[in-house]
Amino acid sequence: MPAVIDAKKCNGCKLCDLYCPLDVIHMEGKLAVVRYPEECWHCGACRQECARGAISFTFPWAMLAA
């Protein structure tokens, strides 16, 4: 999982959904969800926009162990 959204911190402001340049994050009800994790570019735009600090990044094994 690249961008990871902490559902407990997300307040549903939609900014990450709005600004993700790859259309990877979609609102599902009141929560932002990383719907296409494999298409994340790891640009960090969502995290920079998130006022709640709800977004962090984890790197898949392929990136860490290659």
Partner 1 sequence: MRKRHNVEADVAIIGGGTAGLNSAMAAAEAGCSVLVVDKANIVRSGAIAGGIDHFFAYMDTGEPWDTREAYLGWAGRVARGAADLEVQEAVYCDELKAALERVERIGVSLRQPDGKVFRTAALGQPGPYAINFDGKLLKPKMAMEVKRRKCKVVNRVQVTKLYLHDGHFAGLTGFNIRNGDFYRIRAKAIVIATGNTNRMFNAQVGNPFNLWYCPANTGDLHRAAFDAGVALANMEYVRMTIVPKGFSAPGFNAFFGMGAQLVNSLGEPFVQNYHEMGNKAPRNWVVWGALQELKAGRGPIYMDCRHLKAKELEHLFFTLGIDKDTLPEFFRARGYAKDGAMIEMTVSEPMQARPSELCGSGIRIDKTCASNVPGIFAAGDASDQMGCLHMATAGGFAAGKHAAAYAKKRVSLLPLDSKAAEEEEDRVFRPLGRKAGISYREFETIVRAVCTDHFGPVKTEVSLKAALDKLGRLDAARGDLRADNMHELMRTHEAMNIHAVSKISATAALERRESRFIPYHYRADYPQTDDANYCGLVVIQEQPDGGITTRLDKLRYAA
Nearer to partner 1, 49 or 52 (CB): 49
Torsion angle, alpha carbons of 13, 26, 3, 5, to 10: 50
Nearer to partner 1, 11 or 23 (CB): 23
User: In degrees rounded to 5, what are phi and psi of residue 43?
Assistant: -80, -20
Q: Shortest distance, CB of residue 11 to partner 1, whole angstroms?
A: 19
- Tokens found for residue 8: 């407990």
Q: Shortest distance, CB of residue 57 to partner 1, whole angstroms?
A: 5
Q: Shortest distance, CB of residue 37 to partner 1, whole angstroms?
A: 10
Gap between the Cα atoms of 19 and 62, Å rounded: 26
Nearer to partner 1, 10 or 24 (CB): 24
